Amino acid sequence: MSSQRGIKFNDSETTRFLELYSMEKVLYDPSLEKYRDRDLRAAAAKRISHELNIPGFGPKEVISKFKNLRSSFCQELKKISDSARSGKGTDDIYKPKVFWFDQMNSFIRPFVQQRPTQPNLAPNTQATSTESESQNNTVPSRNKRKIKDPLPNAVDVLEKATQHFSNTYDEFDLFGQTIAEQLRQLPLEIALETEEMLLSTVRKQRIKLAKKQTSNQQVRHPPSSA
């Protein structure tokens, strides 16, 4: 095992670490009321540290380790997304290289958002997690300036948006939620492929409808003869 500053996990330790972390939803699920309680988050990190029982790997290292893994996870997501948007076949979609990707994807994916790809964005624009970037402050420290966590505001905005559109809720909203939940159960590559198939079907139907409407308008209003 290397020094405290650069502890390197083997495969089994990484697997065990993610298993323990996935059980502590207070560390990554902003929808929980307890997520805002720093003492509870610190206690959760301490439990993980205790279970791993690795010399020099304390609660602060737990948060730092997950932050590094999450960054790598987001980079893998971006590579998958970029390859899916390239227009190549499904066989060319990027497959994650890290062995722990599926394990992490199984619990953290609903809390990770991807920035839309835009031409004017820098090349290194990547997927970002909704989890607070200030998680290094999970363990209270008097010497560190408290960084305002933007997630509570984001949750409030989402709740207000939900209330705003509640009056227009219909069966299509329910269908969309059902599809989203089903997609989350699939491996990411297959989910992306399925999503593209659904979008393609909807586009075809809209094109068909547009052509029909144009044809009907021409019948009702034939061009006048010169």
Q: State pLDDT tens for residues 93-152.
A: 889 989 999 999 999 999 886 554 444 333 343 444 444 444 444 444 444 454 444 445
CB 67 within 8 A of CB 150: no
pLDDT in the model for residue 221: 67
pLDDT in the model for residue 182: 73
Which residue is it, tokens 């492929």?
193
* Residue 26: both structure tokens together: 């207070």
- Integer Cα distance of 161 and 207 in angstroms: 30
Lowest mean pLDDT among 34-38, 58-62, 176-180: 176-180
Residue 24, pLDDT > 60, answer yes
DSSP result, 101-141: HHHHHHHHGGGEE-PPP-TTS-TT---EESS-TTGGGSS--
What's the chain's average pLDDT?
74
CB 138 within 8 A of CB 67: no
Contacts of 193 (CB under 8 A, 6+ apart): 84, 90, 93
CB 61 within 8 A of CB 5: no
Selected residue with higher pLDDT from 62 and 165 = 62
Beta partners for residue 48, in sequence order: none
Q: At what angle do helices 11-22 and 59-85 cross, to 10 degrees?
A: 90
Contacts of 69 (CB under 8 A, 6+ apart): 14, 18, 100, 104
- Integer Cα distance of 182 and 106 in angstroms: 13
pLDDT in the model for residue 189: 73
- Integer Cα distance of 156 and 207 in angstroms: 38
pLDDT in the model for residue 168: 44
Percent of the chain with pLDDT over 90: 36
Lowest mean pLDDT among 12-16, 175-179, 216-220: 175-179
Separation of first and last alpha carbons in the chain: 89
Residue 209, pLDDT > 80, answer yes
Selected residue with higher pLDDT from 198 and 136 = 198
pLDDT in the model for residue 31: 92
